[in-house]
Amino acid sequence: MKTVDPNSLLNQIDSPADLRLLDMAQLRALARESRQFMIESVSSTGGHLAANLGTVEVTLALHYVFNTPDDKLVWDVGHQSYLHKIITGRREQMSSIRQKGGLAGFPKRDESPYDAFGVGHSSTSISAALGMAIAATQEGNNRRVAAIIGDGAMTAGQAFEALNHAGTLDANLLVVLNDNDMSISPNVGGLSNYLARILSGRTYATMREGSKKVLQKMPTVWELARRAEEHMKGMVIPGTLFEELGFNYIGPIDGHDLDAVVTTLRNVRQLNGPQLLHVVTRKGKGYAPAENNPCKFHGIGKFDPETGESQGGGTPTGKTYTRVFSDWICDMALADDKLVGITPAMREGSGLVGFSEQFPDRYFDVGIAEQHSITLAAGLACEGIRPVVAIYSTFLQRAYDQLIHDVALQNLPVLFAIDRGGLVGADGPTHSGNFDLSFLRCIPNMLLMAPADENECRKMLSTGFRHEGPAAVRYPRGTGPGVEVDSDLDTLEIGKAQVCRKGKDVALLAFGSTLTAALEAGEKLDATVVNMRFIKPLDEACVCELTANHRMLVTLEDNAISGGAGSAVAESLAAHDITIPLTHLGIPDHFIEHASREEQLAECGLDSDSIYHRIQRELAARIATLRAVD
């Protein structure tokens, strides 16, 4: 593969102002160089490649036509913002992307004035852009605001809530719908089918002529008559849905035809009121391995740019918790035909590929619709089905009310298999699952577990699945300590902790994945180490017993200290009127920036060395006040 020439156009673009000096031929050349640069760059850092390759022309055209940063571009999810970063002064820093101290993988307001809105979770762009457009109107400012949203992100409720609102206003909002017929995996649902129908309709035939089309906000009389006729015939006509919502629908246009995109955007930028431009692109465009396997190249570790083959490092060697879940759900589904598996658009990441193939009738990918996924599970559970919702901790945040109101309040047996609990590494704070123990443990009826190893994870999944009420098993991204996983479907005794090591003076109460580091530190300290297993119900008897023969307790968790598992221990001690020196180790009260998970854990003092030194310091400082234990 050719490397990008140091004299290339791309190397001369330090801001969109430089871009705007180029003619169309140069812009096309820049598009080619940009693809090459991103392939090379991401091959050595890892990151979200396929979406970025698919939005090269759209990105260049938007910055070419819109007066950024005064005009605002709001990227949805933001995983497709690499070229935006490159041409807004961050080209040289691309080698640091997603690493500690380096560029974030998503737009971030404090990283650049061009990053109009911080993102990472999907389907927020239209709401945020609408807010900015309304603000511009109220300030009497003529700035333009564009939200760039994918067909996957468009499946989420919030996107529709925003469209529904925007369509009734005069705000100058442009929604660019980037339709590549893919979410992370193939997009699903009625909207996806609708978009496909638009493309297969007759408008698609004229798509390539999109740039020639004169855009009018008001449809002509002929156009209105044609629409009425098509309605009469019961046919859906292109753009109807968006037009019914109050948008002026433009497209579909070929999102890789730079001239078409630039010309269309120039026209659209002149129009007032809500506009929706439908561009059709290909995920992974211009790089055969990514075009052929957009799912693999959605988010990828380091790879060989020549072949597209993954190169070590990024791929864990041991069994990931995701894999443990993946095996368990297939085994449990064989044992219990009432089990169904649900994912809100995270089939690969959540480990449901095997299940979806083996049990296609019991598998539901609901699109990026976390709220729906949970109320759907509640409905299924009402009728005697045993749903398992596989969901990332960070995305579960979206569905908190559904979890409380629809599942827990009705004490329905839904199992939440919560992946990416705690710190997640390179995706950074948008994707960290640092709050789930806090926000789940306060909900009545919840059974809440965090496994310390792979085998315990399997047993907890079985325990939660067999429980007659809502249950959650929360496990981290990546591999466990390497414990062999049994093939049985045995359950654990609910609410029972496990003393792993008996020591003196200090007892370490470890929740979930912190056990490994706690055991290492506990050896050096000759401390008692307990695998707490259950956050709810907490093993209160065990906690009380530990206070009787130790001078100090230390809780450890891969969760926010505020309101987390350690707080549960503190509440229990208070309820039993016990006072004892108590230290909480966990994630402090600020957002932890992107870095490797190990670096993040060290930053939070959750690696074994930090745990050891912290406890030694605490012991020294508290020596005078420590309870005497004879």
Ligand X SMILES: Cc1ncc(C[n+]2csc(CCOP(=O)(O)OP(=O)(O)O)c2C)c(N)n1
Active site residues: 283, 370, 398
Among 47, 107, 305, 349, binds ligand DXP (CB under 6 A): 349
Q: Is 372 annotated as a binding residue?
A: no
CA atoms within 13 A on the CB side of 249: 18
CA atoms within 13 A on the CB side of 113: 7
Minimum CB separation of residue 187 from ligand DXP in Å reads 14
Answer for the pair 608, 513: CB distance below 8 angstroms, yes or no.
no
The Cα–Cα gap between 531 and 417 comes to 20
Stretch touching ligand DXP by CB under 6 A, among 158-166, 326-334, 419-427, 615-623:
419-427
Interface map 180-219 toward Mg ion (x if CB under 5 A) = x-x-------------------------------------
Give 14-19's long-range contacts (Cβ < 8 A, gap of 24+): 14/89, 14/91, 15/87, 15/88, 15/89, 16/63, 16/64, 16/68, 16/87, 16/88, 16/114, 19/60, 19/63, 19/64, 19/87
Q: What pairing do the DSSP bridges indicate for beta strands 415-419 and 386-392?
A: parallel
CA-only gyration radius of the chain, Å? 27
Q: Which does 102 bind (CB under 5 to 8 A by kind): Mg ion, ligand X, ligand DXP, none?
A: none
Q: Which among 156, 79, 153, 76 is positioned nearest to 117, based on CA atoms?
A: 76
Q: Which does 368 bind (CB under 5 to 8 A by kind): Mg ion, ligand X, ligand DXP, none?
A: ligand X
The Cα–Cα gap between 47 and 42 comes to 6
The separation between CA 344 and the C-alpha centre of its own chain, rounded to angstroms, equals: 11
Give the C-alpha distances (Å, rounded to integers) separating 70 from 14, 73, 114, 133, 385: 17, 9, 8, 12, 53
Q: Which does 398 bind (CB under 5 to 8 A by kind): Mg ion, ligand DXP, ligand X, none?
A: ligand X
Q: Which does 477 bind (CB under 5 to 8 A by kind): ligand DXP, ligand X, Mg ion, none?
A: ligand DXP
DSSP designation for 58 = H
- Interacting residues with ligand DXP between 527 and 556 (CB under 6 A): none
Instruction: Report if residue 77 touches ligand DXP, rule: CB under 6 A.
Output: yes
Stretch touching ligand DXP by CB under 6 A, among 137-145, 358-366, 423-431, 564-572:
423-431
Q: Which does 72 bind (CB under 5 to 8 A by kind): ligand DXP, Mg ion, ligand X, none?
A: none
Name which of 184 and 611 has its Cβ closer to ligand DXP: 184
Answer for the pair 339, 388: CB distance below 8 angstroms, yes or no.
yes
Q: Is 523 annotated as a binding residue?
A: no
Q: Which does 51 bind (CB under 5 to 8 A by kind): ligand DXP, Mg ion, ligand X, none?
A: ligand X
Q: Which does 299 bind (CB under 5 to 8 A by kind): Mg ion, ligand DXP, ligand X, none?
A: ligand DXP
The Cα–Cα gap between 298 and 235 comes to 35
The Cα–Cα gap between 415 and 224 comes to 50
Minimum CB separation of residue 420 from ligand DXP in Å reads 6
Q: Is 194 annotated as a binding residue?
A: no
Minimum CB separation of residue 424 from ligand DXP in Å reads 6
Minimum CB separation of residue 106 from ligand X in Å reads 9
Give the CB-nearest residue to ligand DXP. Answer: 349
Name which of 180 and 371 has its Cβ closer to Mg ion: 180
- Interacting residues with Mg ion between 141 and 160 (CB under 5 A): 150-152
Q: Which residues bind ligand X (CB under 6 A)?
A: 51, 54, 77, 79-80, 121-122, 150-153, 178, 180, 182-184, 283, 345, 368, 395, 398
Answer for the pair 203, 252: CB distance below 8 angstroms, yes or no.
yes
Q: Where are the alpha helices (DSSP H) in 247-369?
A: 258-270, 288-292, 321-335, 353-358
- Interacting residues with ligand DXP between 452 and 491 (CB under 6 A): 477
Binding site for Mg ion (CB under 5 A): 150-152, 180, 182
**Binding positions for Mg(2+):** 151, 180
Interface residues toward ligand DXP, by CB under 6 A? 48, 77, 79, 298-299, 349, 420, 424, 427, 431, 477
